[in-house]
Amino acid sequence: MDRTSLEQLLSRGLSLAEIGRQASLHEATVAYWVKKYGLQAANASKHAARGGLAREELQRFVDAGASIAQIAEAVGRSKGTVRHWLQEYGLKTHQPSRRETVPGQPRQAMRNCPHHGLSEFQLRSSGGYRCLKCRSEAVTRRRRRVKQLLVDEAGGACRACGYGHCVAALQFHHREPADKRFALSMSGVTRSLASARAEAEKCVLLCANCHAEVEAGVRRLP
């Protein structure tokens, strides 16, 4: 996105999600460009980081035997935030996991999934089972979302010929092979979004045909 257009949309008080809908971009992509240009999102103060949780406060809850959900409700924060700071301080709640309450529970079992019917389930480390097919599909969806974000941020089309109809046919070509840390293939985008973005900045977005021609020396990089 160009800075001027983004500034105009933000000045109208539009949220990142609303801007994304108007520009046919993911909300995270809009957030990336807002940060890139050093702009301020609408209602940013409302969603600003609220700082960490004090160890002493968390220790009191842990000593009282409170669960993560109970701590989160008491301090007005998300369970993810509470879990993060517990791990940061090396604290653990005393609530036993479901796995601990059922000795000898098998790691894998055949169960009925509402989406896939009778399927193989695997025991989670935190307790409870999850359908392996559902887990695999969730990973695939995440990979596609990350690649779509990277493609959008790289211009959305091949830099050599302008092709942009199918995201699966678009590839990231490293300008300098020596700078390559990992390939941004379908397996590459299983990494964190931050590391994938850092790697994508070293690349030029090309379609599969132009990429092959560049690799063969038939076409020069744009």
Average pLDDT, the chain: 82
Calculate mean pLDDT across residues 63-84: 83
**Binning pLDDT at 50, 70 and 90, where does residue 97 land?**
very low
| pLDDT (0 to 100) of residue 157 | 94
Backbone dihedral region for residue 177 (phi beyond 0: left; psi -120 to 50: alpha; all else: beta): alpha
pLDDT by residue (tens digit) across 23-50? 877 777 787 788 888 887 765 555 445 5
**Binning pLDDT at 50, 70 and 90, where does residue 144 land?**
confident
| pLDDT (0 to 100) of residue 203 | 92
Between the ranges 23-27, 50-54, 148-152, 191-195, where is the mean pLDDT highest? 148-152
Residue 205 has pLDDT above 90, yes or no: yes
**Binning pLDDT at 50, 70 and 90, where does residue 186 land?**
low
Main-chain phi, psi angles of 32, to 5 degrees:
-60, -45
- Alpha-helical (H) ranges within 42-118 are 55-63, 68-75, 79-89, 98-101
pLDDT by residue (tens digit) across 98-134? 444 455 678 888 988 888 899 999 888 777 888 999 9
| pLDDT (0 to 100) of residue 6 | 82
Return the H-helix or E-strand segment holding 214: helix 208-216
Calculate mean pLDDT across residues 203-216: 93
| Rounded distance between C-alpha atoms, residue 97 and residue 101, angstroms | 7
**Binning pLDDT at 50, 70 and 90, where does residue 162 land?**
very high
Give, as one character, the DSSP assignment of residue 108. Answer: E
- Nearest to residue 199, comparing CAs of 216, 175, 182, 222? 182
125 vs 198 pLDDT, higher one? 198
Catalogue the long-range contacts made by 77-85 (C-beta closer than 8 Å, 24 or more residues apart). Answer: 77/50, 77/53, 81/53, 82/53, 82/58, 85/52, 85/53, 85/55, 85/58
33 vs 210 pLDDT, higher one? 210
| pLDDT (0 to 100) of residue 98 | 44
List of residues 6+ apart from 196 with CB closer than 8 A = 146, 150, 184, 188, 189
Calculate mean pLDDT across residues 157-186: 88
**What percentage of the chain carries pLDDT values higher than 70?**
88
| Rounded distance between C-alpha atoms, residue 173 and residue 183, angstroms | 9
